[in-house]
Amino acid sequence: MKDILADRTGCIDASGIRKVFALAAKLDDPVNFSIGQPDFDVPDNIKEAAIDAIRNGSNAYSQTAGDSQLLAKISGLLKNDFAWSDPSMLVTSGVSGGLFLTFLAMINPGDEVIMADPYFVINKHVINMIGGKCVFVNSYPDFKLPVRGIADAITEKTKLIIVNSPANPTGAVYTGDELKQLADIARKNDIVILSDQIYDNFCYEGKCPSIAEHYEKTILLRGFSKSYAMTGWRLGYAAGTDAVKDIIEAMTKIQQYTFVCAPVPFQKAAIAAIDTDVSDYVSAYKKKRDMLYDGLKDKFEIYKQDGAFYAFIKAPDSAKNATEFVKRAIENNMLIIPGNVFSEQDTHFRISYATTDEKIEKGIEILRKLA
């Protein structure tokens, strides 16, 4: 029998996160620390904007690049944040869609893409699937931006550097000084930087620094899924200056033949989302972070990170590796993710504290017992 699957399918595995997510359906009221999905609902005004858009007939395709009103709103944001007067923009089907389009637009077989380890899970698998080569730079144990390691990893085959801050899975927020150093290195070597900032509203110690403030060859990816709990609405955007205009245009061209356009009623709702204050949610998540950190710091190697809603925690010495520890946690009705889903190491596990305070308290109790 002929092999019916393309060779590229062998480069990816079913997401370890989704495997754990499937387990949740089989457990009785588990402490679910597995999925990076806000535990609050979409704010009512944004829901109403989506409903109104549907009722008013905004149900057809938009232009591939996105709804003109939303693009104008995003342009205003970018002008305010980075003084970009005429940015190139593309509304994407989530930031994951933006990552996919960027990789398809830029990466040829054999091209190297540098990223810090740990990394967002999609990056490795999509780059491998299209024939690129991932170059991982160790950021353990504190998960700061490994500027020197990235500089040392650059070769003539380096096509792209990925920056994810605030980071999934670690919660790390890179400082303005670290990002400026990396910008200088990228400029010296004429390398594009992809800045994944899906969590930039969840920055607990002030405005989130962005490498887009320092480097003109930055492809900026932002989204609505996390800040406004719109994970199922699949909406984000890619943007950049004239220095990356050709890349954004290529991404738009590929979108014509893949996603076509982002969901139009939700594009309309995103206009309302941009004006919606989510600071109360962010404050609540800062308290969740503090609760988790204070409850575990004397039992685990854990760093108090400044953003997103994740903790990347070293498994105790009593466990052979993080995967073995995760199995023990699941046996105790807790769902966490083994670190090797996000890393070339199997020493840590990821917790998403996007859940209720009561679940966090219960989870702390279970983890302390397991330690």
Q: Confirm if 321 and 353 have CB atoms less than 8 A apart.
A: no
Q: Average pLDDT of 120-132?
A: 96
Structure tokens, 164 = 């994810």
Which single residue is written with the structure tokens 């029998």? 1
Q: Confirm if 169 and 337 have CB atoms less than 8 A apart.
A: yes
pLDDT at position 28 is 80
The per-residue pLDDT for range 256-272, each reduced to its tens digit, is 999 999 999 999 999 99
H/E element, 68: helix 68-82
- In the structure, what pLDDT confidence band is assigned to residue 11 with cuts at 50, 70 and 90? confident
Q: Confirm if 104 and 238 have CB atoms less than 8 A apart.
A: no
Question: For residues 222 and 238, what is the distance between their CA atoms, to the nearest angstrom?
Answer: 7
pLDDT for residue 98 is more than 70 = yes
The per-residue pLDDT for range 225-237, each reduced to its tens digit, is 999 999 999 999 9
Picking from 360, 359, 351, the residue whose alpha carbon sits closest to that of residue 171 is 351
CATH architecture of 7-42+278-370: Alpha-Beta Complex (3.90)
Helix count (H) and strand count (E) of the chain?
A: 12, 12
**pTM of the predicted structure, to 2 decimals:** 0.95
pLDDT for residue 248 is more than 70 = yes
Q: What is the CA radius of gyration of the chain?
A: 20
Average pLDDT of the residues of the chain: 94
CATH architecture of 58-274: 3-Layer(aba) Sandwich (3.40)
> What is the residue extent of each domain of the chain?
7-42+278-370, 58-274
pLDDT at position 239 is 98
Picking from 202, 204, 371, 205, the residue whose alpha carbon sits closest to that of residue 296 is 371
The per-residue pLDDT for range 19-70, each reduced to its tens digit, is 665 666 677 888 999 988 999 999 999 999 999 999 999 999 999 999 999 9
Q: For a pLDDT cut of 70, what percent of the chain falls above it? A: 96
Q: How many alpha carbons fall within 13 Å on the CB side of residue 159?
A: 18
